[in-house]
Amino acid sequence: AASVVYEAENAAIVNGVVESEHAGYSGTGFVNSANAVGPAVEFTVQAEAAGSTDLAFRYANGGTAARPATLTVNGATHSTPRFAATGAWTTWSNETVSATLNAGANVIRITATTSGGLANIDALTVGAPPGDGPIAD
Ligand code: GCU
Ligand code: CA
């Protein structure tokens, strides 16, 4: 099924920088947030129609603890994804949720809730990933 990748390096970044020192990212880099409560990455994404869709945050967490965040969709709290440790900063994984989007623009934000800050954030894929559904990719 169709999906669209939004690179974190093109998102609005609060208290973080774009880096590329850890291999395996898509696009031109990833966001390294400060190790603190409050850094955020905010994506503005487009939906063709209102409805439920998959949001997959691609990230790496080479630390020993999870790096939880508050996920908001259009300003409303959606969930608190964990961003569990991945074992290395070069090991990337996806934290995936289902969310209801509006037709048109939607603002999707993750904000760090612990002193570790966010995991390194590579990208947000909106929609089921290729090969995941009955409609040709
Ligand atoms: C290391 C790593 C960074 C990461 C940071 C962290 O410095 O190189 O990419 O963001 O740890 O713990 O957040
Ligand atoms: Ca960091």
The model's pLDDT over 18-44, given as tens digits with 9 standing for 90+, comes to 999 999 999 999 999 999 999 999 999
The model's pLDDT over 68-100, given as tens digits with 9 standing for 90+, comes to 999 999 999 999 999 999 999 999 999 999 999
Q: Which fold has domain 4-126?
A: Jelly Rolls (2.60.120)
**Nearest CA among 42, 12, 33, 22 for reference residue 115:** 33
Compute the distance from residue 37 Cα to the ligand 1 centre, in Å. Answer: 15
> Which of 41, 89, 92, 114 to mutate to test ligand 1, by most ligand atoms within 8 A of the CB atom?
89
- Can you give the residue ranges of every domain in the chain? 4-126
Residues with CB under 6 A from ligand 1: 22, 32, 35, 63, 89, 117, 120
Q: What is the pTM of this model?
A: 0.94
- Specify the DSSP element, H or E, that contains 68: none
ipTM: 0.98
**Nearest CA among 74, 75, 83, 73 for reference residue 113:** 83
